């Protein structure tokens, strides 16, 4: 029997996925809304900074590239891009807002 994936380990791994438009990881950008792990599944709800994000496919491919080696092959990874609530800079980690000068 496969152990249930750890949401904290998933979140940590997702920090290696960089939004290529802004050069910041998707966790600190506040793009990850939910990570739910169940028997045989990892379900992630995330958003993009804009519905018109031209690099959404690149980000989704990077998520697969980061999570595939972390999880056993029998684990189904599902990533849903959602638009509610709409992303805003307030969702960013404080350090990320500092980086962009939005905490001043």
Global pTM reads 0.92
Domain definitions of the chain by residue range:
7-97
Among the ranges given (37-46, 80-89, 95-104), the one the predictor scored with the smallest mean pLDDT: 95-104
* 52 C-beta neighbours (distance < 10 Å), count: 7
Q: Does the structure show a pLDDT above 70 at 1?
A: no
Alpha-carbon distance of 47 to 24, in angstroms, equals 14
**Tokens in use for 96?**
């990320």
Right CATH number for 7-97 from 3.40.50.12280, 3.30.300.130, 2.60.40.10, 3.20.20.150? Answer: 3.30.300.130
Average pLDDT over residues 74-103: 93
Of the candidates 6, 10, 2, which has an alpha carbon nearest to the alpha carbon of residue 79?
Answer: 10
Please tell me the predicted confidence (pLDDT) of residue 4.
76
Of the candidates 76, 99, 97, 84, which has an alpha carbon nearest to the alpha carbon of residue 2?
Answer: 76
**Tokens in use for 4?**
């249930």
Question: Which residues face 43 on adjacent strands?
Answer: 36, 78
Q: Does the structure show a pLDDT above 90 at 78?
A: yes
């Amino acid at each position: 029997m496969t152990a249930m994936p750890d949401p904290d380990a998933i979140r940590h791994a997702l920090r290696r996925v960089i939004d290529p438009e802004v050069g910041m990881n998707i966790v600190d950008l506040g793009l990850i809304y939910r990570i739910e792990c169940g028997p045989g599944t990892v379900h992630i709800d995330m958003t993009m900074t804009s519905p018109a994000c031209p690099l959404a496919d690149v980000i989704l491919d990077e998520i697969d590239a980061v999570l595939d080696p972390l999880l056993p092959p029998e684990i189904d990874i599902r990533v849903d891009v959602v638009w509610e609530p709409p992303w805003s800079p307030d969702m960013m980690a404080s350090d990320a807002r500092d980086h962009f000068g939005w905490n001043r």
